[in-house]
Amino acid sequence: MIGVCISGGGAKIGFAVGVLEVMQEKGINIDLSYGISSGSICTAALCYADVAFLKEILLSIEKRDDVLKSQWYKVFWTLLSGKGKADGWYEMDTMRRKLDLLPREEPRIKGVVGYVKLKSGEIVYKSSKQTAKKEFLDAVQASCSIPAFMQSQRVGDDCYVDGGVRDVLPLKALIGDDLKVDEIHVICLSPLSPAPAKALNNIKDVALHSIDLLVNEVFQNDYNTLVRINKLLAQKQSLDKELRAWLDKKRYIRAFPYVPAKAVCDTTDFQRDKIQAGIDHGREIALRVLIRYPDLPPESAPTPK
């Protein structure tokens, strides 16, 4: 069983598309996909369409307004009057209309996406196999709602927001899934040492770059833990009894990491040329990682911090 785990990253989603394209060309059939934020969009496409459909939709975007439209005037009115519910710089209706274009009514694979209930701080994972398509796409929309930047999903007196607030790369959740995959492809949309694609000139740039740092920090911690457990499992018989007992609850998982070598764009740079550049870079990295597939890549762990 093969799983894929895809982090958030906004317009950097092109990188994931490039990786998924190469995986498909290599005959790697995905059984399970976990995604947060942009990764949740990829997961929805894997469930209800395919990589080619997602690529077509993304490359139809010419400018940011084609997917994220500003609602600053509504936010200003809400702050000034205390009325209204606008709580994000960009509305989500345009993005949702693109999600609703996904053609299949039943999922091809099991997909899981996460969002956070802001009042309680609880992270909720929704599975395509346990919910109707509309409810699953509602979860995807919530998973993409970066607080203060994108409009939250209002449910009663609660707000549902980006799952990255609690779990920006759902690798642990994927490993614990009932399908118990034995091969995982981990797609991180930000470089390990992310240099911003442009100068940090305002509060939005600072906040989005901080998210990039969080993504790669979680990736390095969780992925390196997986690699260390694999190494311990290979040496299990030579370890002490207590450690062997702990390892009895673990399983060996083949892991393939995909990490950008450079920053192609920023989180809100939704432009066709930027997305295409991300796709091209994703293909470049995937071809390098999968050069010996199904053997493990030459480097099975990310660069140490």
Task: Read off the pLDDT of residues 155-184 as tens digits, 9 standing for 90 and up.
Answer: 878 889 888 778 888 998 999 999 999 999
Q: Which two tokens stand for residue 121?
A: 């701080």
CB 137 within 8 Å of CB 156: no
Task: Read off the pLDDT of residues 190-217 as tens digits, 9 standing for 90 and up.
Answer: 887 655 555 656 555 555 555 565 555 5
CB 8 within 8 Å of CB 168: yes
Q: State how far the Cα of 178 lies from the Cα of 116, in Å rounded to an integer.
A: 22
Written in H, E and C, the secondary structure of 144-200 is CCCCEEECCEEECCEEEEEHHHCCCCCHHHHHCCCCCCCEEEEECCCCCCCCCCCCC
Helix (H) or strand (E) holding 206: helix 203-234
Task: Name which of 178, 155, 152, 179 is nearest 163 in CA terms.
Answer: 152
Better-predicted residue by pLDDT, 287 or 90: 287
Given a cut of 60, whether residue 137 has pLDDT beyond it is: yes
Find the largest Cα–Cα distance for the chain. 68
Which residues on neighbouring strands pair with residue 2, listed in sequence order? 183
Helix (H) or strand (E) holding 242: helix 241-247
Task: Read off the pLDDT of residues 225-259 as tens digits, 9 standing for 90 and up.
Answer: 777 677 767 776 776 777 767 667 778 889 999 99
Handedness of CA 266, 267, 268, 272 (dihedral sign): positive
Q: How many Cβ atoms sit within 10 Å of the Cβ of residue 46?
A: 24
Q: Which two tokens stand for residue 183?
A: 């091969």
Given a cut of 80, whether residue 2 has pLDDT beyond it is: yes
pTM, rounded to two decimals = 0.86
The three-class DSSP label of residue 44 is helix
**How much is the average pLDDT of 265-291?**
92
